[in-house]
Amino acid sequence: MFVNKLLAGAAFICAAMPLAANAQMSGDTVKIGLITDMSGMYADADGPGGAEAIRMAIEDFGGTVNGKKIEFVVADHQNKADIGAARVREWIDRDGVDMVLAGPNSSVGLAVAKIAADRKKPFFAIGSTSSRLTNEECTPFTIHYAYDTVSLSKGIGSAIVSDGGKKWFFLTADYVFGTSIEKDTRAVVTEKGGTVVGSIKHPLGASDFSSFLLQAQGSGADTLALANAGADTINSIKAADEFGVTQGGMRLVAMNMYLTDVHALGLPVAKGLYMTDGWYWDLNDETRTWGKRYFAKMNKMPTLLHAADYSAVGTYLNAVKATGTDDGEKVVAQMKAMPINDMFAKGGTIRPDGRMIHDMYLMQVKTPEESKYPWDYFKLVKVIPGEEAATTKAESRCAAWTGATQ
């Protein structure tokens, strides 16, 4: 009896609670949010390092813009689209976040793009590689800043073929990323005069690649392309080294790799590997200075994602300063109108479909003998100009760009 009364009373109190209004809107700060993988397989490529890079950008800008304080929040999407989406929703609806950046994982990126666009907030896709972000799912507010599957495949495909790698074999992870990169690269390779002699799909997260590599070796190809990412790429490369794939004369091409992956593999195993990157710390004096600043804080050299985080925030803040407002539409229009010249990109522009065009770099991993100091991992083989590494307007599936004229 008593218990019943207790519970009924509790219900009553609950009902009588003052109905608090929803959380406040912050109109007096400029709030930036980074949602990224802080603990999963991409945590080293972006993760806490990305947050640090953004803090550096805010610091370099002076901490305030147009008299308003700049605030920064970061959260882990744990590689789950619903967690990422829910968090970003909450940020924009409740916490007054004005701009969102997303780290790796295209599934999260696509979800967040939609949410940001519905609420008219600028969204920078930094780590997601899915080219859908600037094609089928393009929005006026999505800016695909660092790179996408197209830039990975176009650049490396043509560069390797012209360098002599004519017979290709694909080892592809059997999921959307893998199959789309394979498809894009195949198209480029055959267009440039190469042939695809074979391909094999492995299950995502397969731990042993020896069997697939054996088939690749038996195919007669001179180039082995790894259309996978993360741990799959690392394991493929380790196995390739063990089974003497490169010693046997095959060229190894990693379609999606980060500086931190090379660090994890070590040069003795990764030497000779070809890959495309959007940025490298040792390219020129500007990148070196920034890279060393980052190193002082994180004890690792930055990847292109960290540099892109820094640059994107700088670009955004410059646009906010120029327009005098943090209104999403005006800021995006400003960003699409101004060129980007910083340590990440020279002469970079944001196209109407949202893609940020900047140069990509074909890199080869150095041998241990060639590497003179820590993190000296890449030699630059070729610069791939921005427009060559992106979807052309003719190929674009972004209705807003191809349909209407801006």
Partner 1 sequence: MANVAIVASPEKSIAMRGDVKSLHRAIFIAIAAILIVAPFVLYPVFLMKVLCFALFALAFNLLLGYGGLLSFGHAAFFGMAGYAAAHAAKVWGLTPELSILFGMLVGAGLGLAVGALAIRRQGIYFSMITLALAQMVFFFCLQASFTGGEDGIQGVPRGNLFGLVSLADDRVMYMFVSVVFLAALALIYRIIHSPFGQALKAIRDNEPRAISLGFRAAQYKLATFVLSASLAGLAGGMKALVFQLASLTDVHWSMSGEVVLMTLVGGMGTVFGPIVGALVMVAMQNYLAQFGAWVTIIQGVVFVVCVLVFREGIVGLIAKVIRRPL
Partner 2 sequence: MFTIFDIPVQALFGQLLLGLINGSFYAILSLGLAIIFGLLNIINFSHGAQYMMGAFVAWMLLHYAGIGYWWALLLAPLIVGISGVILERVLLSRLYKLDHLYGLLLTFGVALIVQGLFRNEFGVSGLPYAIPPELTGGQRLPFMFLPNYRAWVVVASLAVCLATWLAIEKTKLGAYLRAATENPALVQAFGVNVPLLLTLTYGFGVALAAFAGVLAAPVLSVNPNMGADIIIVVFAVVVIGGMGSILGAIVTGFSLGLVEGLTKVLYPEASSTVIFVIMALVLLVKPAGLFGRTA
Q: Judged by CB under 8 A, does residue 368 bind partner 2?
A: no
Q: How far is the CB of 235 from partner 1 (least distance, A)?
A: 18
List the x/- string, 136-155, binding to partner 1 by CB under 8 A: -x------------------
Q: What are phi and psi of 232, to 5 degrees?
A: -60, -45
Residue with tokens 């590997």: 273
Q: Judged by CB under 8 A, does residue 114 bind partner 1?
A: yes
Angle, helix 149-162 to helix 176-191, in steps of 10 degrees: 40
- The C-alpha atoms of residue 199 and residue 196 are separated, in whole angstroms, by 8
Q: Of 32, 65, 85, 189, which one interacts with partner 1 (CB under 8 A)?
A: 85
Compute how many other C-beta atoms are within 10 angstroms of the C-beta atom of residue 371. 16
Dihedral sign, Cα of residue 386, residue 390, residue 393, residue 399:
negative
- The C-alpha atoms of residue 403 and residue 352 are separated, in whole angstroms, by 12
Site for partner 1 in 28-47 (CB under 8 A): 38-39, 43
Q: Judged by CB under 8 A, does residue 79 bind partner 2?
A: no
Q: Which two tokens stand for residue 151?
A: 């830039």
Q: Judged by CB under 8 A, does residue 233 bind partner 1?
A: no
Q: Judged by CB under 8 A, does residue 24 bind partner 1?
A: no
Contact indicator for 166, 144 with CB cutoff of 8 Å: no
Q: Judged by CB under 8 A, does residue 106 bind partner 1?
A: yes
Residues linked to residue 171 through DSSP beta bridges, in sequence order: 200, 226
- The C-alpha atoms of residue 196 and residue 168 are separated, in whole angstroms, by 5
- Name the binder of 263 from partner 2, partner 1, none, CB < 5-8 A by kind: partner 2
Q: What are phi and psi of 341, to 5 degrees?
A: -130, 95
Q: How far is the CB of 173 from partner 1 (least distance, A)?
A: 10
The SS3 call for residue 160 is: helix
Q: Judged by CB under 8 A, does residue 394 bind partner 1?
A: no
Site for partner 2 in 145-184 (CB under 8 A): 174
- Name the binder of 261 from partner 2, partner 1, none, CB < 5-8 A by kind: partner 2
- The residue among 112 and 384 lying less far from partner 1, judged by its C-beta, is 112
Interacting residue ranges for partner 1, rule: CB under 8 A: 1, 3-4, 7-8, 10-12, 14-15, 17, 19-23, 38-39, 43, 48, 74-76, 78-83, 85-87, 89-90, 93-94, 106-107, 110-111, 114, 130, 132, 137, 174-177, 203-204
